[in-house]
Structure 1
Amino acid sequence: MKFPKGFLIGGATSAPQIEGAYNKDGKSLTVADLKYFEDIKNRKDIKETKITNSKKIKFAFENESNLFFPKRVGIDFYNNYKEDIKLIYEMGMNAFRLSISWSRIIPNVDDNKVCKKGIDFYKNVFEECKKYNIEPIVTISHFDLPYKIVKKYGGWKNKKVIDLYIDYASVVLNEFKDYVKYWIPFNEINATIFSTWVSAGIIVDKEENLLESCYQALHNQFVANAKIIKIAKKINEKFKLGCMLAQFTCYSLDCKPENVLYNLKDQQIKVYFYYDLMVKGVYPKYMLKYFKDNNINLDIELDELELIRDNKIDYISFSYYMSGVNSLTENSKVEANLVKMGKNPYLTESEWGWQIDPIGLRITLNDLWDRYNLPLFVAENGIGINDKLENDFTIIDDNRIEYLKLHLNELKNSIQDGVNVFGYTTWTPIDVISSGSNEMSKRYGLIYVDQDDYGNGSKKRYKKNSYFWFKKFIDDSLY
């Protein structure tokens, strides 16, 4: 089948994972810039590289000259964006999801001084997209909170950060209003609970009640999300504002009723809560019970609840890489996008232990469409592979082709089911620095970047086998 007319298909990236140039043209440090490279001994157990505590932050600053910080380098998109966008266009992609770095726009975060060079850079990027008729989907905050906000305000748990974010996001909306229609205020907003450093700027060992601090930060982001929707609609009523979650689709391990109930409760807390609040505009009762049961007392004001109620999202987007299972009894766990999930005996795994479940994407799309009846956008989907550049400069990544083919077929099946899916962006069109493991070896791209875990290499771009497959798939699938 063909995709519906106007379907968006392309690739997704983030500023901290591709841009580099961390100290150029006025940019200040972000939380991503403080993540130094730690060699992984076991690809299927990366808990050490995911942790950021006060000890690691202190170590990073004290040993800055002797450590390698991968996201400070990225893949040098900052200086290669024209080549990279052209390669994306030549693949047939008509959409490009990217994020804007707060630290490039207002480097000092609370003085309202806008950096013109930062504005100019993104305008140049958008001009390139416009040149090739590529639709940009823009994430306003994607795991690169300015470090100054952590140092001065303690991260997103501080309500003052709401207004700082609004100042920044308002500049972005106004400056780029002629280029962008689709906006995502926060990437994987649920990561505030399980990836507290990059998502919320919270240092885990400095909190008396970590879970409470995380949910307070999350509430503050919900308020900011609603405020931005309100502001955006005044700038241009045709703007489309969506949410974005790390989708953790889980099944009950078996048909034992207790396990089915446990899985339902787990999905409510980890998945549905976020959609429920941003689509329906109120805190669900099951979440209020969860707060009470876990001694979580939040500072929530009536006017904030009214803002959330009156400013709802236009569409739902999410990342989908894998699925898991739930059981009341202890079962083995596997890696799953910065968390661990129950092992499903019917699924295979990637090199990093992420379970491969294409049908799960169809299940997820049907479930979300039936539950919320809002347009859906698959914002991230892909597989990390330790690709090798051959002597003839080819990259044989047939397992990536198989992964994408199976998932995209299930995406088409969901459309035939009657689900309203308006777009898909694979993670990623080009190799990037891994968000969780902070390495280059875990490659997701359809374009190879000649660069190793320590930033060594020519930085030249090479087309993988999957690049040519994806191009043909788009040619065959778009009207």
Structure 2
Amino acid sequence: MYQANITQGFPDDFLWGSAISANQTEGAWQVDDKGLSTADIMRRITDRQNKALAPITKADFDQAYRSKDVEQYPKRRGIDFYHTYPEDIALLAEMGIKVLRFSIAWTRIFPTGLEEEPNLAGLAYYDRIFAELAKYDIEPLVTISHFEMPAMLCIKYQGWASREVITAFTKFTAVLFKRYPQVKYWLTFNEINTSLWGFHETGVLDAEKTSQEQLQLRYQAVHYQFVASALVIQQLKQINPQAQVGAMLARMQTYAATAKPDDVLAAQETDRQNLFFLDVQARGEYPSYMNRYFKEQALDLDITLADQAIIAQYPVDFISFSYYMTTIVDEESRHQQAAGNMVVGKANPYLKASAWGWQIDPIGLRITLNTLWDRYQKPLFIVENGLGALDQVTNDEQIHDDYRISYYQQHLQQLKLSLEDGIPILGYTSWSPIDCISFSTSEMSKRYGFIYVDLDDDGNGTGQRLKKDSFYWYKKVIANNGADL
């Protein structure tokens, strides 16, 4: 009689960890010859309910490019991880994390993206990071491009809308792969699907273009990123065949608002727009539904036979994604979708929301994991998941964040059930281990960390690190390998 082999709990080699990015933590924006990045151009936003990143005009860009200000551009100061990394990594080691996902700032290695030789001071900095991680046996999971491409490439080439940027990118990756053979897991583009939001991912200044022009530029930028991703995989397999490359998607599971067939179709179409990026990177070809979409939108993209061949030959080894929320759509809201805006839909009456309007849906994580495994049959890695909240410090310097613990408990319980569903999940890196500058709003008040950083939205404070209640809770989860959530 057939006996099913059902996974019980988390595997012994499960990678428990957390995730940060260079542009939200490092600061030191002009130290050791670092160049200006797209993240350094982004202003602080005060609207906590923002549904998409504010567009950046050419005038905005030019002003930021000339400015030396850090108050209006908080990512330039970050949390000073550039200098505090030894104590911060020691705290992560105390928490017991097995893997740290972080990014290498392109502009520290090639300040403008145009240099022929890398910046040795930038490489030396990351040498120290890797050495510090190795001291505590923390596995590195490295994102190559995390919303921080050189601003000069926006000026010279219009960012990823130009094929020239592929060459600049593969020059950067060749240096990384040869310098850091200890890295087993690489990610190419963070949340690649957010390229349809514009500048922050693609470096394309299209805020003053028509909707049709924006669509054309953004999908062209996406295509060149697909080509770059395939070329990077080819490159890595030649330099370090044992290492793996993953795609990284901002996953937003979509539900139909009702059982009305029109609404179900609208939800399917919206979800496809999200999954399209993985379809190309994991399956190695453009899906037929997107070819139809390009035709209906009158998009004329530069997609060569050589491009298609390299994409087909070098798909990703695994799939990673961020998961924060789900959305619901109906026929009406689907048709109201603006060009390039992935965040559509209405409030789900069955879910609570964070202070920033993000709907909290733990079961949606299990649905997402099953959806991605069923569709791609590739190992999965949850590389971002967490709760941005307004934390309060008590008089005795305690942070009682039960709401964050509850959030993680519910999501990890669903992750455990997904393992029992038979899904191969490599690991889980929460966002984030330490408070950092919010990417979407560039504020500090939106805190995700297990470790509190004493800095406010204006950059005032001591910078002191304090352990929240969730620090001790996550430490216990890792220590017992998720046996007691």
Q: 2:27 aligns with which of 3, 20, 23?
A: 20
Q: Given the alignment, which residue of 322, 325, 331 partners 1:322?
A: 325
The yes-or-no answer on 1:468 pairing with 2:468 is no
1:114 aligns to what SS in structure 2?
coil
Cα 1:255–1:65, aligned 2, differ >3 Å: closer, same or farther? closer
Q: Which residue of 1 aligns with 2:386?
A: 382
Is 1:228 matched up with 2:235? no
- Given that 1:50 and 1:437 are in contact with CA atoms closer than 8 Å, whether structure 2 keeps it comes out as no
Pick one of 25, 35, 49 that aligns with 1:44: 49
How many residue pairs match? The answer is: 469
- Per-residue deviation, 1:205: 2.7
CA distance in 2 between partners of 1:377 and 1:395 (Å):
29
Does the CA contact (< 8 Å) of 1:60 and 1:67 recur in 2? no
Asked if residue 138 in structure 1 is aligned to residue 142 in structure 2, the reply is yes
Listed one character per residue, the Cα deviations across residues 108-142 of structure 1 (whole Å, up to 9, x for unaligned) are 31121211111111111011111111111000000
Partner of 1:262: 266
Paired residue for 1:81, among 80, 85, 89?
85
Asked if the contact 1:338–1:436 (Cα under 8 Å) also holds between the matched residues in 2, the reply is no
- Which residue of the partner structure matches residue 295 of structure 2? 292
Structure 2 residue aligned with 1:279: 282
State the partner residue of 2:205.
203
Shift in Å, 1:65 = 4.3
Letter in 1 for 2:199: W
Alignment of 1:17-416 (within 5 A): 17-38=24-45, 40=46, 42-45=47-50, 50-61=54-65, 64-65=68-69, 67-177=71-181, 179-194=182-197, 196-207=198-209, 209-269=213-273, 271-330=274-333, 339-416=343-420
Residue 313 of structure 2 aligns with an amino acid whose one-letter code is D
When normalised by structure 1's length, the TM-score is: 0.95
Q: CA deviation at 1:478?
A: 5.7
* 2:408 partner amino acid: L
Question: How far apart are 1:43 and its partner, in Å?
Answer: 2.0
Gaps of 5+ in 2: 1-7
**SS of residue in 2 equivalent to 1:422:** strand
Question: In the alignment, what sits opposite 2:4?
Answer: none
Seen in structure 2, the aligned counterparts of structure 1 residues 64 and 23 have a Cα distance that, compared at 3 Å, is: closer
1:209-229 deviation per Cα after TM superposition (whole angstroms, max 9, x unaligned) = 110100000000000000000
AA paired with 2:415?
Answer: L
Q: TM-score scaled by structure 2? A: 0.94
Q: Which amino acid in structure 1 is aligned with residue 230 of structure 2?
A: A
Return the alpha-carbon distance in structure 1 between the equivalents of residues 69 and 142 of structure 2.
33
Give the distance between the partners of 1:301 and 1:428, measured in 2 at CA. Answer: 39
Alignment check: 8 A CA contact 2:12 2:481 kept: no
Please tell me whether the aligned partners of residues 255 and 329 of structure 2 are also in contact (alpha carbons under 8 angstroms): yes
Amino acid at match of 2:49: K
Task: Return the alpha-carbon distance in structure 2 between the equivalents of residues 340 and 444 of structure 1.
Answer: 24
The CA deviation at 1:198 is 1.2
**TM-fit CA distance, 1:234:** 0.6
The alpha carbon displacement at 1:79 in A equals 0.2
Structure 1: segments with no counterpart, 5+ residues: none
| Alpha-carbon RMSD | 1.7
Residues 160, 193 of structure 1: alpha-carbon distance in 2 compared, 3 angstrom cutoff: same
1:96 is matched by which residue type in structure 2?
L
Fraction of identical pairs, as percent:
43
Residue of structure 2 aligned with 1:417, choices 418, 421, 426: 421
Distance, in Å, in 2 between the alignment partners of 1:298 and 1:211 is 10
Contact 1:19 1:75 in 2 (8 A): yes
